[in-house]
Amino acid sequence: MSTEKIYEQFLAWQRQGGGLEYPDSENLMPMLKAYITPEEAEFLTGFPFKWKTLEQVADIKDMDPAELEPKLKELSEKGLLVQSFRREIVGYKLADIVFTFFRASLWPGKTDEPIKSTAPWINKYYPELWEQFRYDQERLMRPFAINETIEHGTTVLPFEDVVKYIDDREYYTVSDCPCRIRYELDPDYQDCDHPKEVCLHFDDLGRYCVENGLGREITRDEALEILKEAADSGLVHGTGNIDEQAPDTI
């Protein structure tokens, strides 16, 4: 099979996962090719979108679990797979394009290849990807402040106390801000002078980050200090706009 066909099949499989659409663009395929090898793309095509154990993945891929496990680890460290550690059972699922390119691959703050050559493509594709949400009433992210309201134009957002999102967590981690990292790696953008290590993750997602070198474990007090430092520098905190579950990211 040709290399081009491998990437086309991988993209077609990603589009079957539901959720976000991945609009065609002259920047999409170069972004995929810059970060994902043909071998990785071929292996990940057909990988489950829902959690599977090592043994279940081994059955799907017809591989020996002992041979498969280090490969899944490598792909998880690259942000191409997501791991879950619930009930002490490790599960794996395919990461979507947004998770890989706009979050996990940038969380470690690495400045070497392949992320260095990928970042400019990520920046080019970003506005094309998010154009689909331009006129949505429901945003994917919502801002909130520490003990104060936020004014945006003529709209005053409801008050929320960030502490309530911190106190009921069991595990705290911090990673670099993926947006700042991708801009710093792109010569077409200026570096940002705000703090970079400000992306907080909790519980299962936090364990995935630490286990795969995408972040470091911190305490509750350190998490609050990071939030305060970010606010003092002029940043606005945001989290996923989901009511059904506690946010795993701030």
How do residues 105-114 score in pLDDT, each as one tens digit? 999 999 999 9
Average pLDDT of every residue of the chain: 87
Domains and CATH numbers, the chain: 3-131 (1.10.10), 137-240 (no CATH)
Q: Give CA 43 to chain center in angstroms.
A: 20
Query: What is the pLDDT, as a whole number, of residue 155?
Result: 33
Let me know how long the chain is.
Answer: 250
Gap between the Cα atoms of 15 and 43, Å rounded: 16
**Tokens in use for 102?**
């706009």
Query: What is the pLDDT, as a whole number, of residue 123?
Result: 97
**Tokens in use for 43?**
């292996």
Q: How confident is the model at residue 209 (pLDDT cuts 50, 70, 90)?
A: very high
Please report, rounded to a whole number, the percentage of residues in the chain having pLDDT higher than 90. Answer: 68
Residues near 29 by Cβ (< 8 Å), separated by ≥ 6? 7, 11
Residues near 234 by Cβ (< 8 Å), separated by ≥ 6? 194
DSSP annotation of 103 reads: I
Gap between the Cα atoms of 234 and 209, Å rounded: 26
Gap between the Cα atoms of 58 and 99, Å rounded: 24
Mean pLDDT of 210-217: 98
pTM, two decimal places: 0.86
Residue 181 pLDDT > 90, yes or no?
A: yes
Gap between the Cα atoms of 158 and 216, Å rounded: 32
Q: How confident is the model at residue 166 (pLDDT cuts 50, 70, 90)?
A: confident
Q: Is residue 226 classed as helix, strand or coil in its secondary structure?
A: helix
